[in-house]
Chains A and B, each alone.
Chain A
Amino acid sequence: MDLTLKIWRQENAQAKGEFKNYQVKGVSKDSSFLEMLDVLNESLVDKIESPVCFDHDCREGICGMCSLYINGRPHGPDDAITTCQLHMRKFKNGETITVEPWRAKPFPVIKDLVVDRSALDEIIQSGGYTSASTGGVPDANAILISKYDSDLAMDAASCIGCGACVAACKNASAMLFVSAKVSQFALLPQGQVEKERRVQKMVAKMDELGFGNCTNTYACEMECPKEISVSNIARMNREFLGAKLFSRETV
C-alpha cells in the first residue's frame, strides 16, 4: 500500500505546530498502524529528519498509552480498538490519512502526537480507590458478591485510561472515564464505605481540571476501545446526586 500521511508536528509544548505531509510506500496491509509509523520513522531517520513522536507501549491494546486521532476518530476507523491494534487493512491504497494528537484543554501537547494525560491520574488520585491498606483485610470469600454485579464492575473496570472518550467527546468531557471508576466501586460491597466521598471528590477534580460537561452524545461509548457503557455515566450521576443531596458529610 502507498499512503499519504498528514501528521501534526509540534516541536514542544510551547511551539506552534503544523501539519506536514509524508509519503509512505510499500506498507503491508497486515502491519499495525504503529508499525506503519515505525516504517515512516525509519525512513525519516535515513534522511536525518526528526522522527514523528507518538505514545505507545504494550502494543497489544491494554496499556492505554497509544493515542492517535486518525481521520476524525480516536484510535482510527475501527470499533473497539486501540491504535496499536488498528491494522492497515482498514485503509485503502492511495488514501490520505490525517493523524492528530488528542485535543483537550487538560491534555496539552508535549511533542508531535504525544499529549500529557496526567489529568486522568489526578482524578484517580482524588478518590478512585478503596482506602484499604496492605494487610488486615478479611478473607476474599468473606463477602459474597453477585456474579451479575461483579461482572458489571469488571465491565467498568476494564477501562485502560487511554482518554479516547475525552478525545471523541465534542465537549472533551471525561465523564466516561470517571464514571467507569466510580461505577466499579459503586457496584461492589468493598466500595460502599467511601462511595459518597469518592464520587464528590472525583467529580470536583474532573471539573477543576477543565474537562467539559457531558451532553450525552455517547460518542465516548462508541470510541471506547473497551466498549465501556454510558450506563456508567448514569450510575455516576445517580451516585453523585444521592451524595450531594443526602450525605451529611461535607467533602
Chain B
Amino acid sequence: MIKQITFSSITKKVIMSLAGLFLIVFLLVHLGINLFLLPLTENHREIFELAANFMATNPLIKIMEIFLFGGFIIHIIYGIVVQLQNWASRGNIGYKSGNKTKASLSSRYMIYTGILVLLFLAMHIYQFYFIKLGLNSSVFMDEHGHPLFYDIAINLFTTQPAYSILYIVLFVFLGFHLNHAFQSAFQTLGWEHPKYTPCIKTLGLVYAIVVPLGFIIIPLYFLIMK
C-alpha cells in the first residue's frame, strides 16, 4: 500500500517539474496583466480592471485557480520533501572543506531562493487574495464592496518604497530560481536533445531575466516617477 502512494525519486521530481512549468506559464499571464499598471495605453486602467475582473469571475478561471493553488502546494511540498531527503542523504557528517565544485549558483541555492519566493507569495496572497476572500480589508473598494486591485497595487508602490524595494529584491531571487528551474524541468522530464537543449537553456535564461525584469519595472517606474 505504502508503495502505491510513495513516489520514486524521479516521479517526485517529475511532479515538481510539471507543477513548476505550470507556474512558469501562470507567471507569464500574471505579468501580462500587471504590466497594465503602467501607463502603456490611455485606457490601461480599464484593461487592467477588465482582466482582473475576468480573473475574479470567470468560472473557467475559478477552476484553473484550484489547479494553480494545487500547483503551488505540490511544488512547495515536494520541494521541501525532496530537500529534506537530500540533506539526510549526505549522512551525519558533512564536508569540512565545503563543496568547491563549480556548479551554477542558481542550481545550488534552489531551496533558499524558493523559500524567499514563498515568503513573497505569502505576503502577496495576504495583500491581494485575502482581500478578495474578505479575510483582509482594504480602503480601496468599489460601491459593491469589490476590491479595486489597481488602486491597491498603485498605492503599495507609491506610498511604501520599502515594499517596492523588497518586491524588487525578491523578484531578483525569483529570477535565479527560474534560471535553473526552466531548463531543469526539461531535463527532469527527459526532454533533452543535442539540438534543442541549448535553445531551452537560452530560452530559460531569457525567461529568467525578462519576466522578473517585467515585474520589477513596475515598482521601479513608480519609485523613479516619484
Contact = CB atoms under 8 A, between A and B. Distances in A.
B118 interface: no
Nearest to B186: A234
A71 interface: yes
Contacts of B189: 237-238, 241
Given A235-B190, A241-B190, A72 B90 contact: no
B88 interface: yes
Contacts of A206: 9
Contact of A222 (B82, B91, B103): B103
B107 A212 contact: no
A214 B11 CA distance: 11
Contacts of B94: 103
Contacts of A230: 187
Given A19-B96, A219-B103, A207 B8 contact: yes
Nearest to B3: A204
A19 B96 CA distance: 9
B64 to A, nearest CB: 25
A212 B8 contact: no
Given A216-B188, A218-B107, A237-B190, A103 B101 contact: no
Interface string A222-251: 110000001101111111110010000000
- Measured as residues with beta carbon below 8 angstroms from the partner, the interface class of chain A is 35 or more
Interface in A80-126: 98, 100, 103-108
**Which of A6, A19, A216, A231 has most B Cβ within 10 Å?**
A216
B184 interface: yes
A172 B97 contact: no
A236 to B, nearest CB: 8
B102 interface: yes
Nearest to A214: B13
A213 interface: yes
A108 B97 CA distance: 19
Contacts of B180: 216
B89 A211 contact: yes
A32 interface: no
Interface in B76-120: 82, 85-86, 88-91, 93-104, 107-108, 110
B182 to A, nearest CB: 11
A109 B100 CA distance: 21
A152 to B, nearest CB: 10
B103 A218 contact: yes
Given A105-B90, A207-B9, A230-B187, A213 B97 contact: no
Contacts of B60: none
Contacts of B85: 171, 212-213
A233 B184 CA distance: 11
Contacts of B54: none
Contact of B97 (A98, A212, A233): A98
B192 interface: yes
B8 A105 contact: no
Contacts of A234: 187, 190-192
B137 to A, nearest CB: 41
A56 interface: no
Given A215-B86, A222-B103, A72 B98 contact: yes
B82 A213 contact: yes
A67 interface: no
Nearest to B6: A207
B44 interface: no
Given A73-B101, A74-B101, A216-B180, 20 more contacts: A72-B97, A77-B100, A168-B101, A172-B86, A173-B86, A203-B8, A210-B88, A212-B85, A212-B86, A212-B89, A216-B183, A216-B184, A218-B103, A223-B101, A231-B192, A231-B197, A236-B190, A237-B10, A240-B8, A241-B189
Top 3 nearest A-B pairs (CB, nearest first) are A238-B190, A72-B100, A234-B192
26 contacts: A69-B97, A71-B100, A72-B99, A100-B96, A103-B91, A104-B91, A105-B89, A105-B90, A105-B91, A107-B91, A170-B90, A170-B99, A172-B86, A204-B8, A210-B88, A213-B12, A213-B82, A214-B10, A215-B107, A215-B184, A217-B104, A217-B107, A218-B104, A219-B99, A234-B190, A244-B11
